[in-house]
Structure 1
Amino acid sequence: MMLQVLLLLLPALSPALSWIPVQDWESGNVTASVGLSGQCVCQVYLPDTTFPANRVQHMQQVSKDLILEMEIQINKMERYEVKLVNYLKELTDLTYRVSVLEGSSENYIKLDFELLRIEIREFEYLVYQLKHSLNSSSPLFDSLYTEIRNMTLIVKQLETYDNQNLEVIRIKFAKLQKKLEECQKDHEFIQPDIGNCNHTGILSISKPVVVQLNAHLSASYQYGGWGKDSKPVRGYENMYFYGGFSSPAVYDFYLYSDYEKLILRNAFQHRDIRGWEGTGNNYIVHSNTIYYQRYSPFSMAKLNLTALKYDYRVISDASQTFSYIYSHNQYLDFAADENGLWVMYASENSKGKIVLAKIDEKSFGIKDVWNTGVFKQSAGNAFMACGVMYVTRAVDANTEEIFYAYDTKTKEEKQLSIQFKKFQEKYSNLDYNPSDQKLYMYNNGYYVSYNVSFNKK
């Protein structure tokens, strides 16, 4: 192989020439002559064996290895970045909790007392349920009621004291709990049979259990909803959700791993649905998927919380004219019960009366439709339980009642009067949860829940 170069370019060739052994230069491989134009021409003879082909191949392989290693490191950095974001969030939460603790430990003591108060109210309801299930009155029940009232007074007295007194109330509380369990066992009291619809419908609704103001700690967040997954997936049986807004617009949700995290406002996930905004407040979480009313196009939408996959379906018959009396834009009302997933709406064809539709969870389409006889605009809200639609309305500022029921199995309508107390006059979300047989209400910015009793056959 011969390479001709101008002497003026010889310096540029020097890197290549450096590969040629010295003895090859000395053996006459380099000659010089004068060109036609008078320039000096240098002729260099490079034997094929002197070109470092093996080194080039080696460098190519090294380059590929370096590129692969770089991609691996970039992937590691991306994973580390995600972990770092999570760690920073946890650190922020921890810093906040430490700062609160340094400021005053009373905040955590108040949380413990709040949980105790809620449990005491639930015990009161259990005693009431036990008494009415046996249809009797005895000194035993009177004694339990007295102890519950005393426990309530003790909680109020000790709430201002230190953590040592908190242990005292816990001991007393445990004794009361044990006595109640013994009472239930002695009288063969039947606990709520979750998932069983062997009854003739709702018998009564308990007193309201007011948990606290919403996670934003603002009374201006009057629109929203909260509750539990009606068909929880494995590992998320205790998960709670919350969405609160100052208007009927729906643009994000908060998820809490358990009840205590809900009280502490310590969400493990925040789902922002901007780009897929909703409106109205009758959304639910079912099988780790949020079902809600999409704003544009007007449709029912869902977001899978694991895959973060959106989907929507337009219900051509649904109207944007008829909403519940307490809240605007509640045209599609999602519900879940022991029989599956439902959506309630009104249409021009139904002349404003509620249309009940069964949702096919796999295809996300409408499976069956029932036309009911109740006007949606006269209703406060509606929910499903064991295939029966229950509709509520106001009795007065403090009382709500279930006044109508429609059975999808028999297609029968009933007029009812099952009254229950409201915490405040208006509410924007009311849904039954089959996993614990409770009603969850978002009442003017507050978390409120009720126990549901069914009339057993």
Structure 2
Amino acid sequence: MSLLEYMWRTVGVLFILLMQSAGATECSCELTNAENPFPKDKLMGIETSAVDCNQKMQSAKMSEEGALRLGLRQRLLQLQEDMSALEREDDGGLYGAVSLRIIELELAEILQLINKLNRTHDTHQSLSTKVNATMLQVQTELKQLEKFDHMQIVQKLEENKRLKRSVAQCQEELRATPPPPTPTPGSCPQGNPVRVEGPRTYTVTQYGTSYTYGSWGRDPRPAAGKENWYWLIPLTSSNVYANYVRQYTSLSSLIAGAGPKDVSIASGNPTTNTIQGPNVVMYGDALYYGCYNNPSVCRFNLTSRAITTAPLPQDSAINNKFPFCHLGACYVYTDLDFITDESGVWVAYTSAENYGNVMISEVEPGDVPRLGRTIKTSLHKRTATNTFMMCGVLYATRYVDKDTEEIFYSFDTKSGMESYNLSMRFKKMHTNIQSLNYNPSDHKLYVYSDAYAITYDVIFE
């Protein structure tokens, strides 16, 4: 037996002998609680308030507005049918007055439904305001009751709930193993584009704001040693013509305007082989552009300095006959739009024979280019502001307002499927976008906007 146990046993024996000698049969002690008593009445009041709120907001009462909305919708559909029937009638006015009277009665009933719906909505809004105030009061009172939670049970329960949610989310992510991407016809291996983010680059060129029309970008299939080069073509004559291309060894060089390498294409502006229009692209160390005053594709080889051409179909529009437009203005001499994607170079244009709707032709590579597959779309060229290609799909943009541009249209060159409801909007830094092209090597949009060079990131699924 330890010393401590011996001492406690001795104290116990002495206590019993003392009680027996005093003749005591029981002992008592007074317990004083230093803490405030738990407000049970307040808790019961909170419970009563919660039950009352639940009864006021029960679905049976709140469904009245939904029923009125559904009834109003049905009456409007019926009114639409009656109006269509009235428009189809051709009876010399025999039944027209009767039909109009029926429609007049329907309109009166619809007006009654609207008034009742407004009153119901106001009642529910007032009820919602009162319930919200009550719930805020209940929340405050519950916070006050938490000070009686000396063992922090409420806090531990909340922490356990958060941990359970985290575990459930983690398990869900582990179970949701995505299958490997399988490209569908006309789509990108990384998935369909879902939005445009940016701008990522935003700079005025070394020309300042002198030339508002032009284009810039990177070669998706550059020559050896030019993998990081950028090119720039401002239209230096009347916002229509240019006769040279300026190259930079890096993006920082372009931004700083340092060490440009100019390559002349033509002797002046405008003259034979002059660049006409801002929608220019570079692919495979060659420049593709609209020939001056000629319905043809011009190809300028930057290595050999040779210029070759491929004629467009007969009656193709040039010389500002079918430019890109919006309600406020048109972008001059944008009849031809050269675009690149993963497969190569395309040209978008139109003709009177095709009623001004966009046509796209594949520019086949070679020392002398020629047009390959040609596809007609239902997109009228003057309703768009730019086009670009991505994984065999043609996309078109339109002007929303001075701050917003929208990718609204697509045409799948493999399946022939068209869509006018993409609604991918992105923020503009300036009012007008004179040229826009997608680069498949870095998944960026290269934009020339009122003399500024801008890039945006295309985000895929």
Q: Structure 1 length normalisation: TM-score?
A: 0.55
1:428 paired to 2:434: yes
1:182-261 matches, cutoff 5 A: 197-217=188-208, 219-246=209-236, 247-261=239-253
State the match for 2:308 in structure 1: 311
How many angstroms apart in 1 are the aligned matches of 2:373 and 2:229?
Answer: 30
Query: What whole-Å deviation, never above 9, does each CA across 1:254-308 have from its counterpart, x for those lacking one?
Result: 0011112112212442122224202111001101101011113332101111111
1:252 Cα deviation after fit? 1.6
How many angstroms apart in 2 are the aligned matches of 1:268 and 1:214?
Answer: 11
2:455 to 432, 442, 449: 449
8 Å contact 1:438–1:450 — kept in the other structure?
yes
Q: 1:245 to 1:341 in 2, by over 3 A?
A: closer
State the match for 1:28 in structure 2: none
How many angstroms apart in 1 are the aligned matches of 2:259 and 2:265?
Answer: 16
How many angstroms apart in 2 are the aligned matches of 1:203 and 1:234?
Answer: 33
State the match for 2:401 in structure 1: 396
State the match for 1:116 in structure 2: none
8 Å contact 2:290–2:336 — kept in the other structure?
yes
8 Å contact 1:335–1:341 — kept in the other structure?
yes
Aligned residue type for 1:338: E
> What SS does structure 2 have at the residue aligned with 1:262?
helix
> What SS does structure 2 have at the residue aligned with 1:354?
strand
1:314 Cα deviation after fit? 1.7
How many angstroms apart in 1 are the aligned matches of 2:457 and 2:380?
Answer: 27
**Gap runs ≥5 in structure 2:** 1-161, 163-176, 267-271
8 Å contact 1:254–1:267 — kept in the other structure?
no
Query: What whole-Å deviation, never above 9, does each CA across 1:105-137 have from its counterpart, x for those lacking one?
Result: xxxxxxxxxxxxxxxxxxxxxxxxxxxxxxxxx
State the match for 1:184 in structure 2: none
How many angstroms apart in 1 are the aligned matches of 2:424 and 2:391?
Answer: 17
1:356-367 matches, cutoff 5 A: 356-362=360-366, 363-367=368-372
1:342 paired to 2:346: yes
1:330 Cα deviation after fit? 1.1
8 Å contact 2:392–2:412 — kept in the other structure?
yes
Higher mean displacement: 280-289 or 319-328: 319-328
How many angstroms apart in 1 are the aligned matches of 2:429 and 2:240?
Answer: 21
8 Å contact 1:293–1:332 — kept in the other structure?
yes
How many angstroms apart in 2 are the aligned matches of 1:268 and 1:252?
Answer: 12
State the match for 2:33 in structure 1: none
How many angstroms apart in 1 are the aligned matches of 2:293 and 2:401?
Answer: 36
State the match for 2:324 in structure 1: 324
1:351 paired to 2:355: yes
8 Å contact 1:214–1:221 — kept in the other structure?
no
8 Å contact 1:214–1:244 — kept in the other structure?
no
1:414 Cα deviation after fit? 0.9
How many angstroms apart in 2 are the aligned matches of 1:281 and 1:205?
Answer: 22
How many angstroms apart in 1 are the aligned matches of 2:188 and 2:392?
Answer: 9
1:220 Cα deviation after fit? 2.6
How many angstroms apart in 1 are the aligned matches of 2:252 and 2:402?
Answer: 31
1:407-418 matches, cutoff 5 A: 407-415=412-420, 416-418=422-424
How many angstroms apart in 2 are the aligned matches of 1:268 and 1:425?
Answer: 28
How many aligned residue pairs are there? Answer: 268
Aligned residue type for 2:308: D
**Gap runs ≥5 in structure 1:** 1-137, 139-187
Aligned residue type for 1:257: T
1:277 paired to 2:274: yes
How many angstroms apart in 1 are the aligned matches of 2:440 and 2:331?
Answer: 25
Identity of aligned residues (%): 31
1:386 paired to 2:391: yes
Query: What whole-Å deviation, never above 9, does each CA across 1:16-57 have from its counterpart, x for those lacking one?
Result: xxxxxxxxxxxxxxxxxxxxxxxxxxxxxxxxxxxxxxxxxx
1:333 paired to 2:337: yes
How many angstroms apart in 2 are the aligned matches of 1:350 and 1:296?
Answer: 21
How many angstroms apart in 1 are the aligned matches of 2:350 and 2:242?
Answer: 21
1:371 Cα deviation after fit? 0.6
Aligned residue type for 1:198: P
State the match for 1:264 in structure 2: 256
> What SS does structure 1 have at the residue aligned with 2:355?
coil
More strand by share: 1
How many angstroms apart in 1 are the aligned matches of 2:333 and 2:206?
Answer: 23
Q: Structure 2 length normalisation: TM-score?
A: 0.55
1:331 Cα deviation after fit? 1.3
8 Å contact 2:204–2:255 — kept in the other structure?
no
How many angstroms apart in 2 are the aligned matches of 1:298 and 1:367?
Answer: 16
How many angstroms apart in 2 are the aligned matches of 1:199 and 1:257?
Answer: 29
> What SS does structure 2 have at the residue aligned with 1:377?
helix
Q: Which protein shows a greater Rg?
A: 2
State the match for 1:96 in structure 2: none
RMSD: 2.7
Aligned residue type for 2:250: D
8 Å contact 2:311–2:370 — kept in the other structure?
no
Aligned residue type for 1:368: R
1:198 Cα deviation after fit? 2.0
Aligned residue type for 1:383: F
Q: 1:372 to 1:200 in 2, by over 3 A?
A: farther
How many angstroms apart in 2 are the aligned matches of 1:223 and 1:251?
Answer: 14
1:211 Cα deviation after fit? 2.5
> What SS does structure 2 have at the residue aligned with 1:441?
strand
